[in-house]
Chains A and B, each alone.
Chain A
């Protein structure tokens, strides 16, 4: 048995602290982004910008359903926009439409909105998607292109 100990130096509490943020965003530069893809994001697409199909969908596991926000960064490319004209994007969580936004100009876009807790099941795979109403059809091979995705997911 060792000799009894004196109490150690007392730790002082932190004066400030903020709640932990959960982030479940699939970033196309992440090494494991492919594992999250469910549909309409070609896995062979090189580089960080991924051309999508009509309804790109990813799956993410959230530890909580409290205080979550849907988040997406994407680009409406000039080349397709010239053909399709203004498009309407619908943002979905587990197939629940969170919002629809009409975009009348091409370029980089960001969308973010609070997700109702009951739409998300903690510790299970949840589907996060964005759907575009009009796709561009390639004249050569008939490929349908929606938009360019850089990140999509849930954050707290």
Chain B
């Protein structure tokens, strides 16, 4: 029960602090807000300010519990003292009883589901892994850490910064409740927008089209950030509209802060930053206004870009690694990741409308069948408000094709929903549309038409929320990842990192979980692990270049072919020979490679379990270069690699004293070679050498069978087993 209480308190304190900070700024800016706008717009604006304060605390490494709690108390006290706490503002026309009852009833019904779900123990995949895993990690360190093993640490995390104080007080569920507060704020803001433009039925209908949407309800009640992002982009839009009516210069500051907060909350929302800056430039036609907005936006953006630049050598990590080359994220891994997100198994993009509205299987959730009617929003073009809503919605829709997950539609949903409602405008028709949407989105109804495993709520988790069912018991029974995380916590020595092929709920263990695809370092570890069992990754092919003996100071293997997509240039070992004897590797040698210069040593370490990889599709000009430091007699070069070369063309070149490279051999003789019998032990020894002594494998992971069969041949010992997974310890490296 206490867990439930602290979760509520943590969320309430964080939301209150956001509102207080925002209300103070609203009053300072003399913003002409109407009363229904006061809470949602102040809350989201305050969130942007508070997020920056939390960022500063983490950067200064002072995120200690008392300081974090005090950080929440200060704006609340300030708002109470200054009189800003009060929900004040210009009065608006009273609502009709029919509207209050009809929309109030639907809102309340869905709220019961959402509120208890967000209050219940957090068991979402991303929420319990990186959204909260990183928050928990920062709090253990009392500040940011340089994390090169988790690409998600490079993402801007403006919403997660608010999860920090919530987590300090109420742990995981408090964070989910904060996210849910954003969803409520979004619905309130949309409703208020309708009232501002004199169409309360439109505002109410638009708000409920979003609020009742299945994907919104699920996402908004877990520790994700999509609904928060929607609230932020809509708030930015809203403030722009208010500024456009009043042209009050002070309003440009909240506009700029929110515009920048869009980027800080999620990279893909950066388009709203551009919209806001462009809107102000267009409407004001003054450089000063533009600079104020751009400057305030920069104050939100620069900290995140700087953090990534300092820690990861890439201001927009984990993306654009081909532009900002760095040793922490692979080009090919980024490409595979992006390819997956832009596809998600939906080969025919014309099926996306049905997938995201009705089926919700491949793209994870559905917005609801009513959105098949989205084209009617075009009828809203007859109103100025409609044109602006559609423009903003369209701008936010543009990045969607980079990630076709249904939840990535959430940020543009408020705009299209309001535009749809505006297009209809007639209250009885709006009521009918909303009623249909509410029925179709009602959790027990969804399974009647959606895919079986679509992402949705299925029951009211009130017993779990108030912890009548203990959190640990509920999670162990319903979330196998939690059981695995706790198994790791119980059996792996404190502080030891754990290698995993697939993601685990990091937020429930203090151990660093190194997930295969999440960084260059993890890519290497997984490649080594897989070399133990996967013969396509083992050195089974030898390319032998023979040529007339010559003295060379520097030689390289140059790749000249054009690889098929994702076909890489790879080498387990490169060796030089003279009269059949290997030229012994010398510490004076100097090794270079392009691309991926950082791993060149892996082709010169005498280990069959490691290899240098280009980690990007092979293209002409890639090379492995050896500077002997003196002239060596060489008549043969051998390159051991795997068998999957098809389009690659290799040649050996020597550097002449003039510095010019000259080709000395091509068309190598190719031989099939057998990997060592103890290849699995080679792999585990390499992992051990890199400080990895614990591996968790879920029984369904690639390679898991091989380890289950014969852990001894790997030099492994099973130290824990359960929840469909095993934890191995490297015992005989």
Contact = CB atoms under 8 A, between A and B. Distances in A.
B601 A7 contact: yes
A142 interface: no
A32 B698 CA distance: 13
A10 B677 contact: no
A1 to B, nearest CB: 6
Q: Which of A5, A21, A32 has the most CB of B within 10 A?
A: A5
A21 B699 CA distance: 18
A4 B592 contact: yes
A10 B606 contact: yes
B591 interface: yes
A5 B605 contact: no
A13 B685 CA distance: 11
A46 interface: no
Given A20-B709, A21-B710, A23-B709, A5 B677 contact: no
A71 B699 CA distance: 22
B623 to A, nearest CB: 12
Given A17-B677, A17-B678, A22-B710, A4 B590 contact: yes
Contact of A11 (B606, B708, B710, B713): B606
Contact of B586 (A5, A7, A23, A31): A7
Interface in A18-47: 18-24, 31-32
Given A14-B681, A21-B710, A4 B598 contact: no
B322 to A, nearest CB: 15
B606 A6 contact: no
B371 interface: no
A19 B709 contact: no
B607 interface: yes
B495 interface: no
A23 B704 CA distance: 12
Q: For the complex, would chain B's binding face be called helix, strand, loop or mixed by DSSP majority?
A: mixed
A100 to B, nearest CB: 29
Contacts of B699: 32
B591 A10 contact: no
B490 interface: no
Interface in A112-151: none
Contacts of B589: 6-7
B685 to A, nearest CB: 8
Contact of B676 (A10, A17, A156): A17
A79 interface: no
Contacts of B600: 4-5
Contacts of A31: 722, 724
A131 B587 CA distance: 66
Contacts of B607: 11
B682 interface: yes
A18 B714 CA distance: 10
Nearest to B586: A7
Contacts of B592: 4-5
Nearest to A2: B597
B706 interface: yes
B627 interface: yes
A19 B677 CA distance: 6
Interface string B638-660: 00000000000000000000000
Contacts of A21: 709-710, 713
Contacts of B605: 7-11
Contact of B591 (A7, A12, A24): A7
A18 B678 CA distance: 7
B604 interface: yes
Given A5-B591, A7-B589, A20-B709, A14 B678 contact: yes
A20 B535 CA distance: 13
Given A5-B601, A21-B710, A14 B590 contact: no
A7 B607 CA distance: 12
Contacts of A4: 590-592, 600, 625, 627
A2 B601 CA distance: 13
Contact of A20 (B585, B590, B601, B706): B706
A6 B587 contact: yes
A20 B681 CA distance: 10
Interface in B485-500: none
A47 B680 CA distance: 35
A63 interface: yes
Contacts of A1: 597
A6 B588 contact: yes
Contacts of A20: 680, 706, 709-710, 713
A113 B671 CA distance: 37
Nearest to B609: A11
Nearest to B706: A20
B336 interface: no
Contacts of A22: 709-710
B705 interface: yes
Contact of B587 (A2, A7, A18, A19): A7
Contacts of A17: 676-678, 681
Interface of B: 327, 585-592, 597-598, 600-601, 604-607, 625, 627, 676-678, 680-682, 685-686, 699, 705-706, 708-710, 713, 722, 724
9 contacts: A4-B625, A6-B589, A7-B605, A11-B685, A12-B606, A14-B681, A20-B710, A23-B710, A24-B709
Top 10 closest pairs, chain A to chain B, by CB: A17-B678, A4-B590, A17-B677, A11-B607, A14-B678, A7-B585, A10-B606, A21-B710, A8-B601, A23-B709
Given A19-B713, A23-B709, A31-B722, 15 more contacts: A2-B597, A4-B591, A4-B600, A5-B601, A6-B587, A6-B588, A7-B601, A7-B604, A9-B605, A10-B606, A11-B682, A18-B713, A21-B713, A32-B724, A63-B705
Interface of A: 1-2, 4-14, 16-24, 31-32, 63, 156
